[in-house]
Structure 1
Amino acid sequence: MKKHILAIVCTALAAGGAIAQSNDTLAKIKSSGSISLGVRDSSALSYTLGNGKYVGFHTEMAERITADLSKQVGKQLKIEYTPVTSQNRIPLVQNGTVDLECGSTTNNATRAKDVDFAYNTYMEVVRTAVKTSSGIKDLKDLNGKTVAVTTGTTSVQLLRKNKRAEGVNFKEVMGKDHADSFLLLESGRADAFVMDASILAANISKSRNPKDYAIVGPELSVEPIACMVRKGDTAFLKAVNDSIERQIKDGSLAKLYDKWMVQPVPPANVALGLPLSEATKAAWANPNNKPAEDFVTKE
C-alpha cells in the first residue's frame, strides 16, 4: 500500500512539474533542446519553399531570436518548424504545441486576452488585390462583386465594417488560407482579395503572371504585426523582446527587412517592392507591443 501511495505521489509531482514547465518556456526549451516555431505557408513575412523549408522576414528574424535564446539557456536549440493557419495559430500557442509564433499575426486587444505579443516588428496596411483587367480601382467598384477573404483573419471584420460604411453590396467567399484566397481571385471565382498588402504582394509575385494583378484602393487599416508567445510567461517574453531590440539596435533587422521585403526573393526571384514604411520605422524607434486599437484614427 505504501509503495502504491508513493507511486501516486511521484506521478502527481511529475505531472505538476510538467505543468509548471509548460508555463516556463525557457525551462521547456532548455530541457528538450528544441523550440517549436510557428510559421506560415503563404505569407510575405513567413512562407514555405516546399520540402519543410520556411523563409521570410519574420521566419529569419525568429531564427535569430532562437540563436539568442540558445545563448541564454546555454545550449544550441534545434528549431522545429510548425506550420500554422489563421484558425489554429492561437490555440497551438496556448496548448504548448508552438512556443513562438512569428508569422503575420495582427496584435489586437481580443487576441491579447489569450496570448502575449512581443514587440511590434511590422506595421501592415490592409488593401485590395484585383486583376488589372477588372477595372476595379476603389471600394465602391466592388458593388455587386465577389470578394475573397481568409478565414480567421482581421480582414473579415474590417471588410464588413467598410462594407457598411461605404454602402456597397458584395458577396464574401472564404479561403482556408492565403494561398487558397488568392486562388479564388486567380481562378475568377472572386473579383478581389482583401488582405495585408505584404501578403497580397507575396502571392502576386509567386503567380504565373504577376503583371496581371494590381493592389488598389485605400489603406483600409494600419495594423501592428507581432510574434506570439504563451500568456503570462514574462521571462520568455522578455527574452524574445530583448533579441528583437538587439536586432533593431545593431541594424541587422533593417538589413533583414531589405533582404526579404525589397530585394528579389525565392522561389520566383521577384521583388515584393515594399520599402520600410514610416509606421514600421516608428515602431522600431520606440519598441512596443501596442495593439491595433491604439492605431485607430479617432474621429
Structure 2
Amino acid sequence: MTFRPSRIVAACAVLLSFGALAQVPPTLDKVKASGTISVAHRESSIPFSYLGAEGKPTGFGWEICQRIVDNVKKATGRADLKVETMPVTSQNRIPLVQNGTVDIECGSTTNNSDRGKQVAFAINYFYTGTRFLVKSDSGIKALSDLKGKRVVTTAGTTNFQVLRAANQRQQLGFDLLTAKDHAESALLVDGGRAEAFGMDDILLYGLRAAAANPASLAVVGEPLQVEPYAIMFRKDDPAFKKLVDDTVSGLMKSGEFEQLYKKWFQSAIPPKGVNLNAPMSKELQDNLKALSDKPAL
C-alpha cells in the first residue's frame, strides 16, 4: 500500500451543509475517478489505530482497512490506487466522513443507533466497555470511589454520555472534564489534574502500555456498558458497504481475523513491545459466527 502525507484539514471541511452531503458520489465511483482513496486514522487509539514507527499509522483496525483497500483496488480496476492518510479526532471523524473528505475511518469508533443516523458501519469487529485509568497508588478501585473527584474523558466520545449518566444516577458529584484526544486525557491523570480517565477499557490498556512508567497506572472498575466497534463510512452506499462487509466477514471466516487479533492483543506490540494480554471477549467470539453489524442503543 502506498501512502501519501496527510492533508491539513481546514476548519470549513467540518462545517457541513445538506447540499454538500448530497453531492458526494458513491465511494467506489469517487475513488475510481480520482485514483485516490482517503483513509482516516487515529493517532493514539492503541492498538486499533495509532502512529507507529516514522509517524505512520498502524494497528489492528488499520490492518483490516489495508485489506479493504486491496479489495477496492480490485473492484475499481485501479491497481495504481493511491492511499491518502488523514488523522482524525473523536470530534471531527463523523463530519469528515459525511462530507466526503475521507472515505473510510479506521479507528476505535463505537457503532451506535444515534451515529447510524449520520454514517454507516461495517460488521462489528470489537466489543468494549467504559472503565477507568487511574494512578496505581490512588486507592480508586470502583466507580463509587470517584465521588467528588475529577474525571476526564475524551470530547466527542460516547463515554462522555455514559459517565454523565452514571454520575447523575448514583449522585457521585464528580467533575466531568474533557480533553481533545485520548493521549491528553491520560496525561491529565498522569499529571495529577484528574483522578481518573473514563474510556473504553481496551484503549486504556493500550495507553497504559505506551506510558513512560506503565506500572504507575492501573485500569479499574467494572465495565459500565458494552459497546461494539466498527469501521465507519458514508451512509446510503450499498455497493461500498457490501465490499467492506465482505472483506471483514472474509477475514473472520478464513481465520485471518483471529491471527490479527493475536498479533495486536496477545503479542508484543510497538512502541514498547508490551503485550496487552487481552483475551477475545465472548461477544466478539459470537460475532465471528453471527457477522452482525448491530449497533449499541
TM (norm. structure 2) is 0.90
Residues 237-262 of structure 1: CA deviation (Å, up to 9, x unaligned): 11110111111111111101111111
Look up the SS of the partner of 2:162 in the other structure.
helix
1:139–1:166 Cα contact (<8 Å) kept: no
**How many Å separate the matches in 2 of 1:51 and 1:35?**
22
| Aligned residue among 29, 34, 46 for 1:32 | 34
Residue identity matched to 1:209: N
TM superposition shift of 1:149 = 0.5
TM superposition shift of 1:171 = 0.8
Residue identity matched to 1:57: F
1:128–1:215 Cα contact (<8 Å) kept: yes
Q: Is residue 2:181 matched to residue 1:186?
A: no
Q: Is residue 2:92 matched to residue 1:54?
A: no
Residue identity matched to 1:39: H
Residue identity matched to 2:45: S
2:21–2:99 Cα contact (<8 Å) kept: no
Percent of aligned positions that are identical:
47
| Counterparts of residues 219-258 of structure 1 (less than 5 Å) | 219-258=223-262
Name the count of aligned residue pairs: 276
Residue identity matched to 1:182: A
Look up the SS of the partner of 1:98 in the other structure.
coil
Look up the SS of the partner of 1:179 in the other structure.
helix
Match of 1:72 in 2: 75
Residue identity matched to 2:29: A
1:123–1:280 Cα contact (<8 Å) kept: yes
Q: Is residue 2:133 matched to residue 1:129?
A: yes
- Runs ≥4 residues deviating over 4 A: 18-21
TM superposition shift of 1:271 = 1.1
**How many Å separate the matches in 2 of 1:81 and 1:221?**
32
Residue identity matched to 1:69: V
Residue identity matched to 2:255: G
2:21–2:98 Cα contact (<8 Å) kept: no
Structure ID, larger Rg: 1
| Counterparts of residues 266-281 of structure 1 (less than 5 Å) | 266-281=270-285
**How many Å separate the matches in 2 of 1:29 and 1:52?**
25
More helix by share: 1
Query: Which consecutive unaligned segments of at least 5 residues does structure 2 have?
Result: 1-19
TM superposition shift of 1:88 = 0.2
1:36–1:97 Cα contact (<8 Å) kept: yes
**How many Å separate the matches in 1 of 2:229 and 2:74?**
26
Q: Is residue 2:41 matched to residue 1:43?
A: no
| Counterparts of residues 159-178 of structure 1 (less than 5 Å) | 159-178=163-182
1:43–1:198 Cα contact (<8 Å) kept: no
Task: Decide which moves more: 131-140 or 29-38.
Answer: 29-38
Look up the SS of the partner of 1:215 in the other structure.
strand
Look up the SS of the partner of 2:95 in the other structure.
helix
Task: Decide which moves more: 199-208 or 29-38.
Answer: 29-38
TM superposition shift of 1:52 = 4.0
Look up the SS of the partner of 2:258 in the other structure.
helix
TM (norm. structure 1) is 0.89
2:267–2:277 Cα contact (<8 Å) kept: yes
TM superposition shift of 1:66 = 0.8
1:21–1:27 Cα contact (<8 Å) kept: no
Match of 1:13 in 2: none
| Counterparts of residues 91-240 of structure 1 (less than 5 Å) | 91-240=95-244
